[in-house]
């Protein structure tokens, strides 16, 4: 899985969404993330089709929404997602939340079947706590590739990062810029000034050096390019320690159906 991807949450203007995907791919991105609930899978597919990048080089991920997690709905809506995206298969399919119609045996069994059918190359989960991940690993026949969760310097997810290392799965960070709060942090802006880069690049480089993939949302070319340049930034041990030392716990995404552990 590429360490940096393009997130498309709230990118719901079809032309803008397609253009941002095409722009990112032609800039060098190879990881694109969407979801059924975003309502933009068709636009993401249009952007992929328009890009001068072969499909086999693109790591495409989508997510099954909470109301679609009964076994028959997983199958039906995943096939609809593939149609909307204009692809035969996706590289990664996530369970979006352990909520709604989620039934571990039925939901994950359906994902195993899609994996066996070649409709998905990898299985992922999203917003799962460690005990959810362990349960999923016990049920699945296929390997669990990733858990996509909110991670940024103000929600560092030390427990989940340690769990991922111990259980050999990837973490993917959504909202890696903390909804723009990284630009208001003295620690991050000071480090950014030292390196002549943006605070966004500092946050993304910190995640990269922690071994966490990130999927920042960006729509305009300048922001897409700025995020991409984070791959060239290497933070010092002192920089990392300063970010690690931020004493703040600020979850940006906390719906009422989120895991009880978040309360």
Q: Rounded to an integer, what distance in angstroms lies between the CA atom of residue 39 and that of residue 186?
A: 36
* Cβ–Cβ under 8 Å, residues 214 and 172: yes
Question: Which of the residues 29, 38, 94, 174 is marked catalytic?
Answer: 38
DSSP assignment of 88-134 equals: S-BSEEEE--S-TT--HHHHHHHHHHHHHTTSBS-EEEES--HHHHH
Distance CA 111, CA 231 (A): 32
> Tokens in use for 97?
């939340």
Structure token digits, residue 70: 């009964």
- What CA–CA distances, in Å, run from 105 to 4, 35, 70, 159? 31, 22, 10, 25
Q: Does the annotation mark 174 as catalytic?
A: no
H/E stretch holding 172 reads strand 170-174
Residue 124 dihedral angles phi and psi, to the nearest 5°: -135, 165
Measured CA to CA, the distance from residue 148 to residue 183 in angstroms comes to 23
* 6 burial type by CB count under 10 A (0-12 exposed, 13-18 middle, 19+ buried): buried
Active site residues per annotation: 38
């Amino acid at each position: 899985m590429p360490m940096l991807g393009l997130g498309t949450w709230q990118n719901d203007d079809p032309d803008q969404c397609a253009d941002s995907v095409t722009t990112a791919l032609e800039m060098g991105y190879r990881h694109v993330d969407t979801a059924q609930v975003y309502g933009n899978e068709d636009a993401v597919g249009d952007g992929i089709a328009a890009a001068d990048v072969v499909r086999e080089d693109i790591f495409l991920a989508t997510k099954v929404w909470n109301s679609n997690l009964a076994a028959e709905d997983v199958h039906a809506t995943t096939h609809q997602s593939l149609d909307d995206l204009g692809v035969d298969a996706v590289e990664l399919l996530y369970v979006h939340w352990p909520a709604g119609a989620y039934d571990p045996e039925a939901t994950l069994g359906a994902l195993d079947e899609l994996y066996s059918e070649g409709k998905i190359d990898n299985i992922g989960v999203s917003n799962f706590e460690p005990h959810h991940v362990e349960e999923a690993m016990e049920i699945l026949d296929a390997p669990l590739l990733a858990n996509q969760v909110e991670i940024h310097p103000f929600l560092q997810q030390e427990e989940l990062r340690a769990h991922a290392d111990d259980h050999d799965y990837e973490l993917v960070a959504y909202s890696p810029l903390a909804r723009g709060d990284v630009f208001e942090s003295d620690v991050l802006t000071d480090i950014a000034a030292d390196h002549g880069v943006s605070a966004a690049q500092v946050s993304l480089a910190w995640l990269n050096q922690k071994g966490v993939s990130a999927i920042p949302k960006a729509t305009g070319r300048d922001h897409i390019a700025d995020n991409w340049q984070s791959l060239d930034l290497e933070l010092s041990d002192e920089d990392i320690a300063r970010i690690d030392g931020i004493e703040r716990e600020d979850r940006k995404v906390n719906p009422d159906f989120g895991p009880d552990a978040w309360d």
